[in-house]
Amino acid sequence: MTFLNYLISGISLGSVYAIIALGYTMVYGIAKMLNFAHGDVIMVGAYTVFVAMSSSGLPALPAILLSMAVCTVLGVVIERVAYRPLRGAASPLAVLITAIGVSYLLQNLALLIFGSNTKSFSTVVPLSPLKLAGGQITISGETIVTILASILIVVGLSLFINRTKPGQAMLAVSEDQGAAKLMGINVNGTIALTFAIGSSLAAIAGVLLCSAYPSLTPYTGSMPGIKAFVAAVFGGIGSIPGAMIGGILLGIIEIFGKAYISSQMADAIVFAVLIIVLLVKPTGILGKPIREKV
């Protein structure tokens, strides 16, 4: 039953990657930019819950809602101050370098405020572990909530984009920003909404990640953010189902790599698999090739 335990752990970790990857894939799919500060928004969300529960004594649910609100505002501010002025820049590297700068800014602000010591994060999931097969398979409450949350988020996000007017505006902007503007769509507002949704999802992912792995530092979001970006590329960046598939596959590969090959080589295995997938299918699993007009 050890195999099944590893598989469940991989799906749980992959579900967190999937939620983070949704932020990357939405921003890239709609605004055509890579927000490498996204991983640090995860860290901000986790610290918000930590402070709200430990210092202010808020219950878990209000603390999570507060965290989502803080990260939503942060995402909109980052887009407005750091990215929007550079959207028409001659070189796309300008936005990329700015994103890296914002990432380091958030990390260093967290270091100044909270210090470099690791904080012990209290779980926000009150569920008891579920034991199956006579206790041979144990599914933690965090795992159950994480998997269910990722499914609900992907379904809800797909319905929002395909069935609502703001979602249709996002699709239009993703196809052609110039044409969308001529049709009366507020392109700036649509992109800001995309950042807001992605950042609120980052807050949820940060809480779930720190509940499953209860430690928190200013660098907590760095590696999960990079791996979630890998998951987004793996599944086909710009595709919501692709982010889900890529995240879960990445989590399974990482857990099985740690269990059966080497815990020190797990990250290298993840990136090696990505290279192989991109060599075989450069657009990712569900990605579609984009033809540019000349």
Q: Domain containing 94 — which CATH number?
A: 1.10.3470
User: What integer is the mean pLDDT of 68-92?
Assistant: 88
**Which pLDDT belongs to residue 252?**
93
C-beta separation of 16 from 212 below 8 A: yes
**Which pLDDT belongs to residue 290?**
57
Q: Which is it for strands 130-132 and 215-216: parallel, antiparallel or unpaired?
A: unpaired
**Does pTM top 0.95 for this prediction?**
no
Total of domains in the chain: 1
Q: Is residue 289 in a domain?
A: no
Q: Is residue 294 in a domain?
A: no
The parent domain of residue 24 ranges over 2-280
Please say if the pLDDT value at position 92 is more than 80. Answer: no
Q: Is residue 286 in a domain?
A: no
Contacts of 192 (CB under 8 A, 6+ apart): 76, 79, 80
Annotate 127-169 with DSSP letters as a single string.
Answer: PPPEEETTTTEEE-HHHHHHHHHHHHHHHHHHHHHHHSHHHHH
**Which pLDDT belongs to residue 113?**
94
**Which pLDDT belongs to residue 103?**
93
| Residues above pLDDT 90, as percent of the chain | 52
Measure the CA dihedral 151/157/160/166, to 10°: 170
Quick: pLDDT tens for 101-131.
999 999 999 999 999 899 999 888 888 888 8
Q: Is residue 6 in a domain?
A: yes
Confidence of residue 291 (pLDDT cuts 50, 70, 90): low
**Which pLDDT belongs to residue 294?**
44
Q: Is residue 287 in a domain?
A: no
Rounded to the nearest 5 percent, the helix, strand and coil shares of the chain are 70, 5, 25
Quick: pLDDT tens for 131-161.
877 777 888 889 999 999 999 999 999 999 9
Rank 101-110, 225-234, 279-288 by mean pLDDT and report only the highest.
101-110
Q: Is residue 268 in a domain?
A: yes
Q: Is residue 290 in a domain?
A: no
Nearest Cα neighbor of 198 from 175, 236, 229, 230 is 229
Please say if the pLDDT value at position 292 is more than 70. Answer: no
Q: Is residue 76 in a domain?
A: yes
Please say if the pLDDT value at position 6 is more than 70. Answer: yes
